[in-house]
Amino acid sequence: MQKILKIELKRAFYNKLFLISVLIGCIITGMQIYQNVLPMMEYNVNTYVEMPPHSVFSKWIGAGFTFWDDLFFIIFPLLASIPFADSFYIDCKTGYVKNIFTRTKKSDYYLSKFIAVFLSGGTTVIIPLLLNLYLSALCLPSIIPDVTAGTFPIFSNSTGAAFFYTHPFLYVFLYMLLIFIVSGILVTIALAFSFLVNYQYVVTLTPFMCLIFISFVSMFFSNPSLDISQWIKPSQTTVLNFAVIIPEMLVLALFVIITYFQEVRNETN
Amino acid sequence: MRNNRISKIIKHDLTIGMKQNTPKYILIAFFISLFCMMFFNGVTTFQLTEQIVSKGSMMDCTIYIFKGMNVYIPSVESPFQIPIIWLLIQVMIAFFIVNYPTQDLHSYGLQILARTKNRFLWWSSKCIWNIFTVVSIYLTCFTCILLLTLFFGKLSLTPNAEISLLINEFELYNLKLSQLFVAVFVLPILTSIAISLLQMTISFILTPVYSYMIIVCIMVASAYFCSPIFIGNFSMILRNQLIYSEGSNNLTAIVMNIVVIIISITVGHLYFSRYDILKMS
């Protein structure tokens, strides 16, 4: 199991598509730095001492209210799926799996594939966000958020607001962990669709289509808490409601587990 | 002989392309029906409170589906909310187009190219397939709207002032019906054709997934910024000059779309004539 997992992880991460995807993410986050963070450096230098300076936590991409963060948090499933989402489909189509199955257990391969796709999807999304946070921290002071400043995106009804205003870095890193998990779950949907669909590019695009479909469902039922592209932003344009999010993610994960692992079970039997 | 070849290639593309997309047509018909039901549900709600007297017309329903969003002014109090109905239609159209051209090139299309010895024929056929697919998607949409309006609304192309204000978020005054007809029924189709041809061209230069991503980025940018550079604005009725004074007028939109169509077809043809097909296979 370890050997095949190592091979799959190497294929997922030592991969031109992974680099391209991370680069596209970094370009988007880099543009946000250029347009929204760098001008704040000048503002901080040139304004009166009495005015509170802008902080990392009010201006990084996760703080929201700019075009680049809206764009990033809509296309992140595409970024996550490009590197490795269609690898299982391609392996089956090209006959590569037959080589694997003669050398190792099928269940080991399927589990390793699942882990590699999950990790590569999450990592592709997190790296540009970490880079953005790091570059913002180079340019702006890491001032503990102040409620009276009125420039921080978290309001009193946001989940973890008290946490944000006392331990902001921990809040940001926990949110990044949430983004990692959500990206990973979304990308594994492509694995499930590899059995259901017969076209490579359709498989790659299913995580994004799933996000759009969930956004539509959230609008249909007038429940903005369901919309992933809204609650996944650290600025919580829609308040993070765990009572809705946990079942939502569980439903998605169950769909993937049932479809993918059921087919795996059929194949191994 | 040449005309015979062209017609055979086009017939093949239309047949196979449509056959592949059949489940997607069913899906889009389902979504349009849902959107129509949402519209008529809204009308019924306002009728109960006597704010609206008449039933919704076909024009009202179509505007509801293709209206997009008002011009966005960034502020902390109003975070950006992409118009999901409009975006869903655009990404589904892009989803229809993404697969077939490149898949055909690396399979049956090779046989066609070897026998016809003419890349321009193959490219032209794909452009015609592309235009036909977009038009057929919109025909599916309008047919669904027509059928549902027959049952739940009023079969008319005249918009209702109360419905326009309460549901479609604009004031109906001094609007010429002919210009509104162009904005509602012609511009969305023409804009989608332009975007789809652009997507198809980019899919050969990069890959289909990157071309899809670029189109999604253009759509998001079109929703965020009200600018003629982002041609998605032309398909949003609320951004038309008839409703928003600084929006694009019909003539400008038509000209810009035709320019994008011509550039996409030309660049695609020039690129494809030098494209190393066997290497990419």
pLDDT of B55-94, one tens digit each?
888 999 999 999 999 888 887 777 888 899 999 999 999 9
Instruction: Look up residue A10 and give its two tokens.
Output: 């190497």
Tell me the chain A residues in contact with residue B31 when contact means C-beta distances shorter than 8 Å. 216
Q: What span, in angstroms and rounded, lies between the C-alpha atoms of B276 and B281?
A: 9
* CA proximity to B13, closest of B135, B126, B134: B126
d(CA B206, CA B208): 7
Q: Do A75 and B217 count as a contact with CB atoms less than 8 A apart?
A: yes
Q: Quote the tokens at residue A200.
A: 């490579």
pLDDT digits (tens, 9 = 90+) for B93-136: 998 888 888 888 878 888 888 887 888 888 999 999 999 999 99
Q: Hey, of B28, B31, B76, which one would you mutate to test binding to chain A, going by the most A CBs within 10 A of its CB?
A: B76
Interface of B with A (CB under 8 A): 20, 31, 34, 38, 74-76, 79-82, 84-85, 87-88, 91, 95, 98-99, 102-103, 208-209, 212-213, 216-217, 220-221, 224-225
> Nearest CA to CA, how far is B177 from chain A (Å)?
30
Tell me how many degrees the CA angle A102-A105-A108 measures, rounded to the nearest 5: 130
**Which residues of chain B lie closer than 8 angstroms to A212, CB-CB?**
84, 87-88, 91
SS3 at position B42? helix
**Chain A residues inside the 8 Å CB shell of B217:** 71, 75
Query: Contact A67/B221, CB-based, under 8 Å?
Result: yes
A 18-57: CB under 8 A from B: 24
* B203: nearest Cα among B87, B76, B281, B97: B97
A15 touches chain B (CB under 8 A): no
3-state secondary structure of B78: coil
Return averaged pLDDT per consecutive 10 residues of chain A, 269 residues in all.
90 93 95 89 65 82 87 94 92 88 87 94 96 93 80 79 87 93 94 86 92 92 88 84 90 89 73
Residue B275: C-alpha distances to residues B101, B121, B227, B269, B272 (Å): 14, 15, 34, 10, 5
- 3-class DSSP state for residue B237? helix
Mutation site, B41, B45, B78, B81, interface A, largest A CB count within 10 A? B81
For A152, phi then psi, to 5°, come to -95, 145
Q: What DSSP designation does B185 have?
A: I
Please indicate if any CB of chain B lies within 8 Å of the CB of A220.
yes
pLDDT band at B281 (very low <50, low <70, confident <90, very high): low
ipTM: 0.90
pLDDT in tens, B184-196: 999 999 999 999 9
Q: What is the pLDDT of residue A269?
A: 62
For B84, the closest chain A residue by CA position comes to A216
**pTM metric for this prediction:** 0.91
User: Which residues of A are less than 8 Å from B224 in CB distance?
Assistant: 67, 70-71
Average pLDDT, chain B: 88
Tell the burial category of A128 from Cβ atoms under 10 Å away from its Cβ (0-12, 13-18, 19+). Answer: buried
Distance between CA atoms of A232 and A249, rounded to whole angstroms? 12
| CA A226-A232-A237 angle, 5° bins | 80
Nearest to A61 by CA among A146, A163, A134: A134
The whole-angstrom distance between A1's CA and the closest CA on chain B is 32
Interface contact B213-A153, CB threshold 8 A:
no
Preferred mutation among A212, A214, A225, A227 to probe B, highest tally of B CBs within 10 A:
A212
**CB-nearest partner of A78 from B34, B99, B213:** B213
Q: What's the N-to-C CA distance of chain B in angstroms? A: 30
The answer to whether residue A153 neighbours chain B at the CB level (below 8 Å) is yes
Q: Count of A–B CB contacts within 8 Å?
A: 76
Task: Give tens-digit pLDDT for B132-154.
Answer: 999 999 999 999 999 999 988 88
Asked if B221's CB is within 8 angstroms of A216's CB, the reply is: no
CA distance B10 to B99: 17
CA nearest to B210, candidates B102, B117, B63:
B102
Report the interhelical angle of A106-139 vs A168-196 (nearest 10°): 140
